[in-house]
Amino acid sequence: MAKTEAPARTKINYLTALKEAIFEEFERDADLVGMGEDIGLLGGAFGVTDGLLDKFGRDRVFDMPISEAAIVGTACGLCLNGKKVMVEMQFIDFISCGFDQIVNMTATYHYRTAGEVSMPMVIRGPAGGYGGGALYHSQMNEAWFANSPGLKIVCPSTPADAKGLLKSAFRDPNPVMVYEMKELYRRRDIEEEVAVGDDAIVPIGKARVRREGDDVTIVTYGNNVYHALAAADNLASEGFSAEVVDIRSLVPLDEATIKESLAKTNRLVVVNEAPRTCGFAGEILARLAEEAFELLDAPPMRVTRLDTPVPWVKPLETFVLPSVDKITETALRACRY
């Protein structure tokens, strides 16, 4: 009998890719449970966990009170008792309310037990600006946690990476934070075919070159990847070829791929939408200045949010956040240095 071919996959959006990862991993691992504010009956503020409660029941999907400290603390206890836990932050901004439980408890257990205890927890939630969410619903606070040994941090920019990195996070024996770009959740123009099952897995700690070029390397992640790609088009019209590196994983950081790109271009621009002071863009610049200074033909530069909260009014939001024009201008300065 001839083998029946599987039906062709349709393109899906970023949100659906995350949802597929969650459902596949809950199906795969009976020890995996989920908790957060409104993740059950409501299906999450953005619908990422819609249907999870109906499929897996109240023994595995928990609607929690509005206390991020209690949510993460409870998750720690469950991990210590043999469970794997997905924690959803309704907005990543409010992760600060659970900060102590994350950095002093979750992040440190493996170390302070000399490797005997694992903490298989995924902390995920919607992050970032550009949507008019103002100061309480627009933050990128990833640098807080990059400063806390024991945590891995990923920030996908495509549906395939969203699904693949989240699946890897679920299978990691220790805590992984997943910053989901809410402005990408339902963006139609980035929809793509995404694999199912193990074929979808994307390893944590490996960057991806999204566009090849020879004159300047633009390093970024999350929503800013698309600003960088548009800026690369602008640069091409000026006669310069930009290489865009999507790091995907902040901790661990794939420095080798960045260095390989820098060896071609000899110029570096790093973009992130967190504030400039102590943001992760500065960490990347510092590492490359220390370890690949001889490859630089121009000062390494960065494009970041201004050191201010994100305003609500659209022109002001645009003014403080990285943009295509700002990246273009900065990269041109690097190329013409």
Mean pLDDT check: name the lowest of 5-14, 15-24, 182-191: 5-14
Given a cut of 80, whether residue 14 has pLDDT beyond it is: yes
Q: Which residues pair with 243 in a beta bridge?
A: 217
In this structure, are residues 262 and 213 in contact, taking their beta carbons and an 8 Å threshold?
A: no
Please report the pLDDT score of residue 9 as a whole number: 77
Task: Band the pLDDT of 309: cuts 50, 70, 90.
Answer: very high
Structure tokens at 200: 């979808």
DSSP conformational letter for 189:
G
Distance CA 195, CA 9 (A): 8
The domains spanning 14-200 and 208-336 adopt the same CATH topology: yes
Furthest CA-CA distance within the chain? 66
Strands across the sheet with 84-88, in order? 61-63, 32-36, 84-88, 121-127, 176-181, 152-154, 249-251
Q: What are phi and psi of 135, to 5 degrees?
A: -70, -25
- Distance between first and last Cα of the chain: 66
pLDDT, tens digit (0-9, with 9 covering 90-100), for 39-78: 999 999 999 999 999 999 999 999 999 999 999 999 999 9
Tally of CB atoms within 10 A around 124: 25
pLDDT over 90, % of the chain? 97
In this structure, are residues 181 and 223 in contact, taking their beta carbons and an 8 Å threshold?
A: yes
Coil, helix or strand for 181?
A: strand
pTM (predicted TM-score): 0.96
What does DSSP say about strands 121-127 and 61-63: parallel, antiparallel, or unpaired? unpaired
In this structure, are residues 274 and 223 in contact, taking their beta carbons and an 8 Å threshold?
A: no
- Asked about 137 being catalytic, the answer comes back as yes
Distance CA 101, CA 277 (A): 25
Write down the mean pLDDT value for the chain: 96
Please report the pLDDT score of residue 152 as a whole number: 98
pLDDT, tens digit (0-9, with 9 covering 90-100), for 201-259: 999 999 999 999 999 999 999 999 999 999 999 999 999 999 999 999 999 999 999 99
What is the CATH class of 208-336?
alpha beta
Please report the pLDDT score of residue 7 as a whole number: 58
Q: Catalytic one among 137, 167, 208, 227?
A: 137
Structure tokens at 51: 């249907």
Please report the pLDDT score of residue 301 as a whole number: 98
Q: What are phi and psi of 249, to 5 degrees?
A: -120, 120
Given a cut of 70, whether residue 26 has pLDDT beyond it is: yes
Task: Band the pLDDT of 1: cuts 50, 70, 90.
Answer: very low
Can you list the positions of beta strands (E) in the chain?
Answer: 32-36, 61-63, 84-88, 121-127, 152-154, 176-181, 208-211, 216-220, 242-246, 249-251, 268-275, 301-305
Coil, helix or strand for 123?
A: strand
In this structure, are residues 119 and 110 in contact, taking their beta carbons and an 8 Å threshold?
A: yes
CA distances from 198 to 24, 166, 171 (A): 10, 12, 11
pLDDT, tens digit (0-9, with 9 covering 90-100), for 167-204: 999 999 999 999 999 999 999 999 999 999 999 999 99
DSSP string, 99-129: HHIIIIIITTHHHHTTTS----EEEEEEE--
Q: Which residues pair with 209 in a beta bridge?
A: 245
In this structure, are residues 281 and 222 in contact, taking their beta carbons and an 8 Å threshold?
A: no
Structure tokens at 335: 């190329």
Torsion of CA 72, 73, 76, 77, to 10 degrees: -140
Distance CA 263, CA 260 (A): 5
Q: Where are the domains of the chain?
A: 14-200, 208-336
One of 3.40.50.970, 3.40.50.10360, 1.10.287.130, 3.30.1360.120 is the CATH number of 14-200, namely 3.40.50.970
Task: Band the pLDDT of 261: cuts 50, 70, 90.
Answer: very high
Distance CA 161, CA 202 (A): 6
pLDDT, tens digit (0-9, with 9 covering 90-100), for 128-161: 999 999 999 999 999 999 999 999 999 999 999 9
Structure tokens at 161: 């990476």
In this structure, are residues 130 and 84 in contact, taking their beta carbons and an 8 Å threshold?
A: no
